[in-house]
Amino acid sequence: MLMMTLARPVLANGPIVLDSNMGEWDGHPYVEDPPGDADKENDIRRLYFDTNPNEETLYFMLERWASDNTKLEISLFLDTNNNGNYGEPGDRRIFVRYQPKNQGSQVDVEVYDGTGGFIAQIAHNADWGESRQEGGLRVEWGVPFDVLGIIPGQTMLMFAATTHNQHPDRIEDTTQEVQWSPANALGWPLIGVVALSGALLLARQRRRLS
């Protein structure tokens, strides 16, 4: 297992607002995924993540490489105690369903614990993604710390996966595993990328959806 630091690319544009305008994500941390390792509608390009100063909410934005304006289903897995096991009751899976529309988008966000138990619905029919006219590539969402059962500065592991539209238990693409200590004040959180071999990480991820 290799650990490497993931730095902020440039100074962030400003606080994150869930309004489907993605410009404020410029300068926030992200992990990048190469093209061509999944069907185009499920092929992840970047996963952005950050917090706003003095606010206890985790914010995310996922961008895919291409889109034919089909539905995108995302599972964001959080190993909240940083022990490498995502299947414990204290862990979380954030499920996001994104459907671009001609005008706006439809985004649903639900949170489950590591054993699959339902915790909360965060959003239903929210307009947090790009419309078809805007390309249908990017979607953003946020989840409060208390729903995730975490506190500021808590170190955790996470990764995102897209699943097949007709086969929700089948993983199409994944990001690298990221170690993150989200903050709720000004300053740079601890961010790192944990690089696992592709075969090992995919095997672990498939078990989590089964």
Strands 177-181 and 156-163: antiparallel
Decide which of 17 and 11 is more confident.
17
High-pLDDT (> 70) share of the chain, %: 79
Rounded CA-CA distance 162/38 in Å is: 9
Q: pLDDT by residue (tens digit) across 123-153? A: 999 999 999 999 999 999 999 999 999 999 9
Q: What confidence score (pLDDT) does residue 106 get?
A: 97
Q: Which two tokens stand for residue 132?
A: 């078809």
User: Domain map of the chain by residue range?
Assistant: 2-8+34-209
Q: Considering the entire predicted model, what is its pTM? A: 0.85
CA 12 vs CA 43, 99, 131, 142: distances in Å = 25, 27, 24, 17
Q: What is the pLDDT of residue 12?
A: 61
The answer to whether residue 3 scores a pLDDT higher than 50 is: no
- Cβ burial, residue 69 (10 Å; 0-12/13-18/19+): middle
Residue 54 has pLDDT above 60, yes or no: yes
Q: Does pLDDT of 196 surpass 70? A: no
pLDDT digits (tens, 9 = 90+) for 20-34: 999 999 989 999 999
